[in-house]
């Protein structure tokens, strides 16, 4: 990696992780960390940043004498940790927020709600398009759900503001959520599963279809003898 690229990647990563993570729809944890995998998905959504790879980031932290980021396992953060503004106040909370889920999960969530495991939180945004971007980081065809914040607050859902239209929530019951037809989603899932099983260009040949003359063991033996005779007659006498 050239010195110019080394300096450039450091400044980009510092901006994304420390100065404006919300611009990239990222929410660092309490220690300022985000998953490297999530970071790369976010920066690759910008055409001019698609050149950045995990190998580039790793090389930068090893080559630079004073790197602007630090890696801890699968996580990364800015070296100069910033305390991000997270507001628990709900006075200015929009009446509707959006979240995105995998289409395959929608029938289950419509019945049971969203309850993340391992102390994870649900990411919400005040823009439908941003929710779609977040959803596509996990599924090629996500389902965007609208969330009634009024109903959520009545049930003491912990909604936290994380900058520029980004929020988190600790759980969401089905009655807070509104999305597309569950029945339609189920039908689309079934169709997709059938298409996966039926791979184009493959088939299971039926020997009776390919060789209709071969119907029984007796006819097979008869044809075999015929082929031998034809081969023998084909070659001229020595």
Same domain, 59 and 101: no
Tens digit of pLDDT for each residue in 24-72? 999 998 889 999 999 999 999 999 999 999 999 999 999 998 999 999 9
Q: What is the pLDDT of residue 190?
A: 73
Q: What is the pLDDT of residue 152?
A: 93
Regarding predicted confidence, which is higher, 166 or 228? Answer: 166
Q: What is the pLDDT of residue 5?
A: 73
Tens digit of pLDDT for each residue in 97-146? 999 999 999 999 999 999 998 777 899 999 999 999 999 999 999 999 99
Q: What is the pLDDT of residue 210?
A: 47
| Residue (of 216, 196, 198) closest to 207 by Cα position | 216
Tens digit of pLDDT for each residue in 77-94? 999 867 666 666 667 889
The total number of structural domains that make up the chain: 2
Point out the least confidently predicted range of 129-143, 177-191, 198-212: 198-212
207 pLDDT above the threshold of 50: no
Q: What is the pLDDT of residue 206?
A: 54
The model carries a pTM of: 0.74
Two tokens, residue 174:
């089905």
Per the listing, tokens 């779609």 go with 132
Regarding predicted confidence, which is higher, 9 or 188? Answer: 9
Strands (E), 73-113: 75-78, 96-101
- Span 12-33, mean pLDDT? 92
Asked if residue 231 belongs to a domain, the reply is: no
Where residue 9 sits, what CATH number does that domain have? 1.10.10.970
- Structural domain boundaries enclosing 72: 3-78
Strands (E), the chain: 34-35, 69-72, 75-78, 96-101, 122-125, 143-148, 160-161, 166-169, 177-178
Would you say 44 and 67 are in contact if contact means Cβ atoms under 8 Å apart?
Answer: no
The CA-based dihedral angle spanning residues 185, 191, 197, 201, taken in that order and rounded to the nearest 10 degrees: -140
Asked if residue 201 belongs to a domain, the reply is: no
Q: What is the mean pLDDT of the chain?
A: 83
- Span 166-192, mean pLDDT? 87
Asked if residue 212 belongs to a domain, the reply is: no
Same domain, 155 and 111: yes
Give the count of alpha carbons within 13 A of 135, CB side only: 23
Same domain, 130 and 177: yes
Asked if residue 226 belongs to a domain, the reply is: no
Same domain, 61 and 15: yes
Same domain, 68 and 104: no
């Amino acid at each position: 990696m050239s010195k110019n690229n080394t300096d450039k990647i450091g400044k980009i990563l510092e901006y994304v992780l420390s100065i404006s993570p919300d611009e990239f729809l990222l929410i660092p944890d309490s220690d300022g960390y985000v998953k490297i995998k999530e970071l790369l998905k976010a920066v690759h959504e910008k055409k001019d940043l698609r050149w950045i790879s995990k190998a580039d980031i790793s090389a930068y932290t090893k080559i630079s004498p004073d790197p602007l980021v630090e890696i801890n396992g699968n996580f990364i953060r800015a070296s100069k940790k910033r305390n991000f503004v997270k507001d628990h106040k709900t006075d200015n909370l929009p009446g509707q927020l959006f979240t995105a889920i995998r289409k395959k999960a929608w029938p289950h969530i419509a019945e049971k709600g969203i309850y993340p495991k391992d102390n994870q939180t649900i990411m919400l945004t005040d823009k439908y398009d941003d929710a779609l971007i977040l959803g596509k980081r996990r599924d090629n065809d996500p389902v965007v759900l609208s969330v009634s914040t009024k109903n959520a607050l009545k049930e003491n859902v912990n909604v936290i503001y994380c900058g520029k239209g980004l929020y988190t929530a600790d759980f969401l019951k089905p009655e807070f959520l509104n999305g597309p037809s569950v029945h339609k989603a189920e039908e689309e899932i079934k169709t997709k599963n059938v298409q996966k099983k039926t791979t184009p260009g493959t088939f299971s040949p039926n020997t009776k279809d390919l060789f209709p003359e071969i119907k029984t063991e007796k006819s097979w033996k008869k044809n075999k003898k015929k082929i031998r005779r034809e081969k023998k007659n084909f070659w001229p006498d020595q």
